[in-house]
Chain A
Amino acid sequence: MGTRVFGEPVRRREDGRLLTGRGRYLDDLGRDALAAAFVRSPHAHARITDIDVSEALDVDGLVAVYTFEDLPGRIGERLPLLIPHPALTHGRTGYPLARDVVRHVGEPVAMVVARDRYLAEDAAERVRVDYEPLPAVVGIEAASRAERLVHDDVPGNVGAVLVQETGDAAAAIRAAPHVLEFRLAIERSASMPLEGRGVYARWDADDGSLRVYSSTQASTGVRAAIAARLGLPTGKVEVIAPDVGGGFGVKIVHPWPEEILVPWAARLLDREIKWTEDRREHFVSAAHERGQLQDVRVGFDGDGRVLGLDVRIRHDHGAYTPYGIIIPIVTSTQLLGPYKIGAYRAEVVSLYTNTLIVTPYRGAGRPQGVFCMERTMDRIARHLGLDRADVRAANLIQPDEFPYDQGLTFQDGRPLIYDSGDYPELLRKAKAMIGWDGFGAERAAAASRGRRLGIGLGVYVEGTGVGPYEGGHVEIDTAGRVHVSTGLTSQGQGHETVFAQIAAAELGVPIGDVHVTTGDTRRFGYAVGTFASRAAVMSGNAIALACRKVRDKALRIAAEALEADPRDLDITDGVVHVRGDVSAAVPLRTVAVLSNPLRYAFDEETARATQFAVGRPVTEPPIAAGEEPGLEGRDYYSPVRSTFAAGAHAAVVEVDPDTAEIAILRYAVVHDCGRLINPMVVEGQIHGGVAQGIGGALYERMAYDESGQLLNASFMDFLMPYATEIPRIRTGHLETPSPLNPLGIKGAGEAGVIPVSAVIASAVEDAEGVRVDAMPLSPDALHTLRQRAAADPSLIVRAE
């Protein structure tokens, strides 16, 4: 192999354009396009009795207004249920524009197209919609009581009941020496990328083809959906994810109503049309996540070993279920974390409410599962008077127990089998980094000065790199440039850099010669998407496999040119040469010329490949059997099952005895994602995840009132952390390679966020001596907890 680039903190190749304003995000495109704007429901639940667009027609610059009645054939059909599941017996999706009934504030009712966005909004304001308000179902408790229904034909508001089970949990708990029972709650948050959603469509009437740009995490899925709805062959639809200003999960949902309607109208009007989501729209029309109530029953022995665990999870999935029940599946499986839980039963009830849809946000159900398990570990420790880390250690899967079968079915429909890891070492390192063992003295010293400190930790396992597959294509051109493409998309993860590192390492070329394209169906048409910490594992391995094909081919062609055995050849800095003899060499750009036998030369270099120049035997065809012209290769990576990353986080917090403000003094992360491709990029992913975790633990919640109005739908009121709220994050790595894939890597994208709420809850509980059972923990919430504990001693936790 050439210069060592795999595993190095290579600087990002995308930064040059992003730092100079030359990035191209969705709204930077289509300067001359018409603008779309949407009339959205102001009611959480209402029947539409009339829509009058006549006043809107008076707005100069208006081009068209559409309501449900205007949508022909498949355009007006319900949006697809993307991930069906046998347990989702009552899946429901909305229409692109509301038909008769709206079920959440923000549901699109009409689309307006005008010369610019200002005029489109003027017209949208003038569309009069008459509603007959219906009672709204808001919150998990109200949904469970089912006094009112979100969908008339969904009894009990229950979309799905899912059971995950291994062993006889009820019997194990009955037989256990100690039993605890409690309830936990996590509120809603959201991905909240700084760039919202957006779609820009161009219809080419002469060619009968459509080009769509979308700020999406799944351009191939968007393409398939648009082609199906518009009745076009996929070959006539191109979908491109340009630079995307963050996704964090929300942009995996597709097709959004706007992704159907904007291309449809572009074709109908034969005009370019663009829709760029504004922030308020994003709050009420994109998606949220996290909201769950969990009822836990755990049986354990005197050493804190869990013997049986029974969890009933009530999950709020909002008004519709376009993304199925992936989140509660992930919660109920990943809840087990790094532990050997004797017998386990999880029953998920997934409920409809008249609120925005709930689809994966970074972590995708894991933060809730880890919160449940880690709170359980803390409860056991407090109950037995044991050290919280010791209780965890007593339950950990040991390094010699891999592969470890948890006996459940994971989100990819495959067995939940952990491939590799060293969980005790993660825990040991995290304790060392945060100063766990000496903390008693630190807390006491602080207490003597009137300061209230606490320490907490959390351990988690994350299934990453779910299938079914991703692919890679690699082509070396006659200038020696290496073009790498993969179908999945990028939202800031640095794929152009890490995939180039992989290609450079596999091929033996300078990284500067490698050019990576992602999320462009013109370059690669088969893909699944970017979610579930899968891009590096899936596309990284696919690209490596494609590179190996190209490398083998290059060696075969070069061997013929050099009259050498391919097994004696190597590639260094883009030149194929005989090992130990640099004089017998041919550059890859020449190999690329030779790979494509030509009749017509277009320059001096390609003249070498014409039929009177090449030296192949005249008895052989110019292209050998089984070969293809061109120095290129394509391959796919399709894993038998997911690979499991893991980590441990720990924090020290200080709580203000008067104001109940919580400050994080130290935060430590130990992370194991197998072999690191680029440690700088992985650390960046962890930092961002932890910050989102801190947001979810302390600040972020979606404040719906009882009528289903989102009261904090702006950045003024929905509090995301600024630099002043995020402490310095210390990171450490373990590298336990995955045995499942050629590169030995595991996913890293979501890791940072997963255990943060659990860690902060543990630390605040430690500082306060008051039981923490709900997140986020605002000063107000903590103040309430203090008052409750003052009246109810059972809420006071025993010190270690």
Chain B
Amino acid sequence: MGEAREDTREDTFEDTREDTFDVALTVNGAHRTARVPARRLLSDLLRHDLGLTGTHVGCEHGVCGCCTVLLDGDPVRSCLMLAVTASGHEVTTVEGLAAPDGTPSPVQRAFRECHGLQCGFCTPGFLCTVTALLRETPRPTQDQVLEGISGNLCRCTGYQNIVASVHRAADLIARSAEEGEA
């Protein structure tokens, strides 16, 4: 902090000597900018700078998966990424999973239908993980489902209904694809 290199310094907070950097990224389809210190985590940028508090932080060391968001479509742990490294990328959080008119996504619908959540704290991470999983593997086997969600912890559900939700979401996606074709 105190060792800031003068030539790379972009700005300082009024009363700190910490370097700050401009970050510009697309979040849930909207262009967003913020000016943050280099050490600011992506999870903190989303939650505290951009006010998107749906992304939760459960462990801050990349194990629980609560903070999972989609970076250019792929699931990442936002607590393990510095905000500045997300610059220029496209981030989707739980707030961006529903259709623009508010219609829940098939994954969100499935979790509700199958009681795939209890306290809801891990849920945004699961929703992002499962959204990406089903894009890659539209008809996952039971083992593929277990493997696909095996990086996300849930302390409430015993995973029973989360697994059911993933299969149900696959059904809903398949059905809407059929209807789209017909």
- List, in ascending order, chain B residues with CB within 8 A of A231's CB: none
Q: Is A193 an interface residue (CB 8 A)?
A: yes
Residue pair B158, A726 in contact (C-beta under 8 Å): yes
B119 and A491 contacting across the interface, CB-CB below 8 Å: yes
Q: Is A449 an interface residue (CB 8 A)?
A: no
State whether B150 touches A687 (Cβ < 8 A): no
Query: Does B170 make an interface contact (CB < 8 A)?
Result: no
CA A554 to CA B155, docked complex, whole Å: 43
Give the residues in chain B near A687, CB-CB below 8 Å. Answer: 157-161
Residues of chain B within 8 A of A192, CB atoms compared: 155
Q: Which residue of A lies closest to B124 (CB)?
A: A21
CB of B8 closer than 8 Å to a CB of A:
no
Write the nearest CB–CB distance from A43 to chain B, whole angstroms: 23
A218 to B113, CA, bound (A): 30
B151-176 to A contact mask, C-beta < 8 Å, 1/0: 11111111111110000000000000
Q: Does B181 contact A (CB under 8 A)?
A: no
Taking a contact as CB atoms closer than 8 A, the residue among A11, A20, A60, A195 that contacts B113 in the complex is A11
Q: Tell me the smallest distance from the CB of B99 to a CB of chain A, in Å.
A: 11
CB of B91 closer than 8 Å to a CB of A: no
Among the stretches A556-564, A570-578, A713-721, the one at the interface with B is: A713-721
A248 within 8 Å of B by Cβ?
yes
Instruction: Indicate if the CB atoms of B155 and A21 lie closer than 8 Å.
Output: no
CB-CB < 8 A to B93: which residues of A?
21
Whether A28 lies near B47 (C-beta < 8 A) is yes
**CA A479 to CA B65, docked complex, whole Å:** 43
Kindly supply a per-residue 1/0 record for chain B positions 46-66, scoring 1 wherever the CB is within 8 Å of any chain A CB and 0 otherwise.
011001111111111101101
Given contacts A21-B93, A691-B158, A723-B149, contact A279 B59 (CB under 8 A): yes
Chain B residues near A681 (CB-CB < 8 A): 115
Query: Do residues A279 and B54 form an inter-chain contact, with CB atoms below 8 A?
Result: no
Asked if residues B51 and A494 are in contact (CB atoms below 8 Å), the reply is no
CB distance from A250 to the nearest CB of B (A): 11
Name A723's contact: one of B52, B56, B66, B159 (CB within 8 Å): B159
User: A228 at interface (Cβ–Cβ under 8 A)?
Assistant: no
Are the CB atoms of B53 and A726 closer together than 8 Å? no
Check A118–B37 contact: CB distance below 8 A.
yes
A752 interfacial by beta-carbon distance below 8 Å: yes
Whether B63 pairs with A714 at a CB distance below 8 angstroms is: yes
List the B residue with the shortest CB-CB distance to A752. B158
Interface segment, A176-184, A201-209, A239-247, A330-338? Answer: A239-247
In the bound complex, do residue B57 and residue A723 qualify as a contact, i.e. CB atoms below 8 Å apart?
no
Point out which of B16, B95, B118, B162 has the most chain A C-beta atoms below 10 A from its C-beta: B118
Contacting residues, chain A, for B162 (C-beta < 8 A): 723
Say yes or no: is A744 at the interface (Cβ < 8 Å to chain B): no
Contact: A246 with B155, CB < 8 Å?
A: yes
Question: Which one of A15, A20, A680, A723 lies within 8 Å of B150 (CB-CB)?
Answer: A723
Q: Report how far A11 CA is from B165 CA in the complex, Å.
A: 14
The reply on A729 being an interface residue by CB < 8 A is yes
| Contact partners of A60 in chain B: CB under 8 A | 13, 15-17
Q: Is A493 an interface residue (CB 8 A)?
A: yes
Closest CB of chain A to B140's CB: distance in Å? 12
Convert B82-119 into 0s and 1s, putting 1 for each residue whose CB lies closer than 8 angstroms to a CB of A.
00000000000111011000001000100111010111
Q: B21 in the interface, Cβ–Cβ < 8 Å?
A: no
Across-interface contacts of B118 in A (CB, < 8 A): 246, 492-494, 684, 688
Question: A27, B57: Cβ atoms under 8 Å?
Answer: yes
Closest to A730 in B: B160
**Is the beta-carbon distance between B112 and A194 smaller than 8 angstroms?**
no
A18 is an interface residue with CB less than 8 A from chain B:
yes
How far is the CB of A681 from the nearest CB of chain B, in Å? 7
Q: How far is the CB of A693 from chain B (nearest CB, A)?
A: 9
Docked complex Cα distance between A116 and B149 (Å): 33
Q: Could you tell me if B60 and A118 are in contact, using CB atoms closer than 8 angstroms?
A: no
Q: Is the CB of B56 within 8 A of A195?
A: yes
Q: Is the CB of B52 within 8 A of A21?
A: yes
A20 x B98 contact (CB < 8 A)? yes
Within 8 A of B (CB), among A687-708: 687-692
| B147 at interface by CB-CB < 8 Å | yes
B60 touches A691 (CB 8 A): no
Do A246 and B121 touch (CB < 8 A)?
yes
- Which residues on the A side are within 8 Å of B51 (C-beta)? 31
Please give the residue numbers on chain B whose beta carbons come within 8 Å of chain A beta carbons, in ascending order: 1, 13, 15-17, 37, 39-40, 47-48, 51-61, 63-64, 66, 93-95, 97-98, 104, 108, 111-113, 115, 117-124, 127, 145-147, 149-163
- Nearest 6 CB-CB pairs, A to B? A21-B54, A492-B119, A245-B121, A18-B120, A691-B158, A687-B158
Sample of 11 further A-B pairs with CB below 8 A, known A19-B112, A60-B15 = A15-B120, A19-B123, A21-B52, A60-B13, A193-B155, A194-B119, A194-B122, A492-B120, A715-B63, A722-B149, A723-B145
